[in-house]
C-alpha cells in the first residue's frame, strides 16, 4: 500500500486523499485538479514546531510555495508567521488573517517603493534587506511615513548547497543578499532614525537534503550577529531562511520527523553558543510543509506509440505544473485505480496538450496499464505547482480542493474563459 504521504493512501485499490476518493473528487470538480490534505499540512507543520521546541522561534511559512488563501488561513490559525517576496503576497496574508501581518518577514531583491510603503503601513515584523540601494530606499520610505523599519541584512554566506542551480541562492555569484564581508559597514550606514538593525538573515537555496550546509551557513550568521552586537546593534532575530528538501520518490523514503530534528540540531547548535538572551530564530519553510500534502489529478486522454516510445497523453500540462520542464524535476505518478498489482509496467512519457516538446509531467515513467478516461495522480505537487501555473496556450487554470478527513472544500474554482480574458482591452 502506498503510504509515503500521510494524506494519500490506497483503500481497496483506489487512491484517496484522507477519507475521500480521488475519483469522486475528479468527477465532481473535473481535471486537472489540485488536491491538498489539510491533515498532512497540519502534521508536517507540527513536526517542525516540535523539532525547534527548545529555542524561541517562529515558522514563517514561505507564501510563494503555495499561496491559496485557504492554505494560508489554515497555517495562520496554527500560529504561523509568513515569508513574503511581493506586495501581492502581503495582501494575501492580510486577507488570510490580519493579525498575522505582525509576523511577516519581507524578502526579495527587487522591492519597489510602493511595496515598501505598503509593508511599513501594515506593521510587518522585519524587512530582509538585500542591497545598499534598497537600504536607502527603505529609509526614504520610512521617513516619508514617519515610521521606523526593523531590518535584517540578508547576507550571502557563500555556502554551496547540492541542489538545482536555479534554486541555489547562497553563493557569491547569485543575485541574492550582500557579501558577508560588507555587512558590518552596511549596518553602520543604516544608523538612521528611521531604520533599526535588528537581525541577520540568510537563505542558501531550496530542496536541500543534507543538513550540513545549514549548519555552516548558520555558523557564519551567528559570527556576524555577534560582531554586530559588539558594534552596538541590538540583534533580536536571526533568520535562517528555508530550503529543507523532501523526497520525491517512494523508492527513497525519508522519515520527516527524523530529518526535521537533524535540521533543527544543525541550525540551532551555533545559535546556542551565543550569549543569552539568544536571538529569536526565524525559519521560512515552504516546500517541506506543503509539497507532500498536495497532488495534481489528471485524466488520461490518449495512449500512443512512436516506434518503441510510449506516450500517455493527459489533460494536465506544463502550464499546470512547470517543475518538470523548468527544473527537470521528477514527480512520482501513480494511477488512481490499481487494477492488477502484479501487472507488468510500461515505460512511458506522461505528456500534456501544450504545443511544446518540453510539455511533460514525467519522462520514461514506469506506469501500470491505464486506459483513456482513467485518472492519474502526480504526487508531491503541493509546492510550486499551482503557484507557478499560467495561461500558456490560453489554457484555463485548474481548480483546487482542500480535504480534511471526509470534508471537502473547493478553495479555488476552475477558471473560465471569461475570467481569463476579462483584464485584456479589446480595442479594435
Question: What is the three-class DSSP state of 59?
Answer: strand
CB neighbour class for 296 (10 Å; exposed up to 12, middle 13-18, buried from 19): buried
Q: What does 6-21 look like in DSSP terms, one character per residue?
A: TTEEEETTEEEETTEE
Which residues, in sequence order, are bridge partners of residue 400?
A: 34, 412
Q: Point out the catalytic residue in the list 17, 60, 141, 355.
A: 355
> Is the separation of the CB atoms in 297 and 315 below 8 Å?
no
Q: What does 151-216 look like in DSSP terms, one character per residue?
A: EEEEEE-----SS-GGGB--STTSSSSEEGGGHHHHHHHT-BTTEEEEEEE---BSSB--SHHHHH
C-alpha cell at 403: 480535504
- For 125, half-sphere exposure in the C-beta direction (CA atoms, 13 angstrom radius) is 25
Q: What does 92-111 look like in DSSP terms, one character per residue?
A: HHHHH-GGGGGGEEE--S--
Q: Tell me how far apart the alpha carbons of residues 99 and 325 are, in angstroms, rounded to a whole number.
A: 38
Assess whether 17 carries a catalytic annotation.
Answer: no
Q: What CA–CA distances, in Å, run from 202 to 74, 265, 284?
A: 26, 17, 10
Which active-site residues does the annotation give? 355
Amino acid at each position: 500500500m502506498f503510504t509515503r504521504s500521510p494524506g494519500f493512501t490506497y483503500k481497496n485499490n483506489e487512491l484517496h486523499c484522507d477519507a475521500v476518493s480521488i475519483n469522486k473528487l475528479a468527477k465532481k470538480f473535473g481535471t486537472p485538479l489540485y488536491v491538498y490534505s489539510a491533515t498532512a499540512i497540519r502534521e508536517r507543520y507540527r513536526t517542525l514546531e516540535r523539532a525547534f521546541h527548545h529555542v524561541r522561534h517562529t515558522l514563517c511559512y514561505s507564501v510563494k510555495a503555495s499561496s491559496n488563501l485557504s492554505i494560508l488561513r489554515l497555517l495562520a490559525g496554527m500560529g504561523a508567521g509568513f515569508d513574503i517576496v511581493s506586495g501581492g503576497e502581503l495582501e494575501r496574508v492580510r486577507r488570510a488573517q490580519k493579525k498575522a501581518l505582525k509576523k511577516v518577514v519581507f524578502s526579495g531583491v527587487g522591492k519597489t517603493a510602493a511595496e515598501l510603503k505598503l509593508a511599513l503601513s501594515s506593521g510587518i515584523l522585519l524587512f530582509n534587506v538585500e542591497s545598499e540601494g534598497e537600504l536607502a530606499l527603505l529609509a526614504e520610505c520610512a521617513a516619508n511615513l514617519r515610521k521606523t523599519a526593523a531590518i535584517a541584512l540578508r547576507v550571502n554566506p557563500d555556502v554551496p548547497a547540492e541542489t538545482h542551480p536555479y534554486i541555489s541562492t547562497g553563493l557569491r555569484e547569485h543575485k541574492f543578499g550582500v557579501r558577508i564581508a560588507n555587512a558590518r559597514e552596511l549596518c553602520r550606514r543604516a544608523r538612521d532614525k528611521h531604520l533599526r538593525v535588528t537581525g541577520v538573515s540568510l537563505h542558501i537555496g531550496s530542496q536541500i537534503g543534507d543538513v550540513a550546509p545549514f549548519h555552516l551557513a548558520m555558523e557564519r550568521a551567528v559570527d556576524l550577529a555577534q560582531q554586530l552586537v559588539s558594534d552596538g546593534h541590538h540583534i533580536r532575530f536571526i533568520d535562517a531562511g528555508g530550503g529543507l528538501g523532501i523526497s520525491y520518490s517512494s523508492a527513497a523514503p525519508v522519515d520527516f520527523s527524523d530529518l526535521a530534528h537533524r535540521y533543527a540540531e544543525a541550525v540551532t547548535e551555533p545559535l546556542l553558543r551565543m550569549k543569552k538572551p539568544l536571538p529569536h530564530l526565524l525559519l521560512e519553510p515552504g516546500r517541506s510543509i506543503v509539497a507532500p500534502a498536495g497532488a495534481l489529478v489528471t485524466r488520461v486522454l490518449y495512449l500512443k506509440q512512436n516506434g518503441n516510445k510510449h506516450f500517455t497523453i493527459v489533460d494536465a500540462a506544463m502550464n499546470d505544473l512547470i517543475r518538470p520542464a523548468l527544473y527537470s524535476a521528477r514527480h512520482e505518478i501513480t494511477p488512481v485505480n490499481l487494477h492488477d498489482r502484479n501487472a507488468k509496467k510500461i515505460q512511458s512519457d506522461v505528456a500534456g496538450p501544450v504545443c511544446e516538446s518540453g510539455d511533460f509531467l514525467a519522462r520514461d515513467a514506469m506506469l501500470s496499464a491505464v486506459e483513456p478516461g482513467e485518472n492519474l495522480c502526480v504526487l508531491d505537487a503541493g509546492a510550486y505547482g499551482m503557484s507557478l501555473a499560467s495561461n500558456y496556450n490560453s489554457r484555463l487554470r485548474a481548480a483546487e480542493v482542500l480535504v480534511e478527513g471526509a470534508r471537502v472544500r473547493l478553495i479555488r474554482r476552475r477558471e473560465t474563459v471569461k475570467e481569463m480574458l476579462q483584464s485584456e482591452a479589446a480595442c479594435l
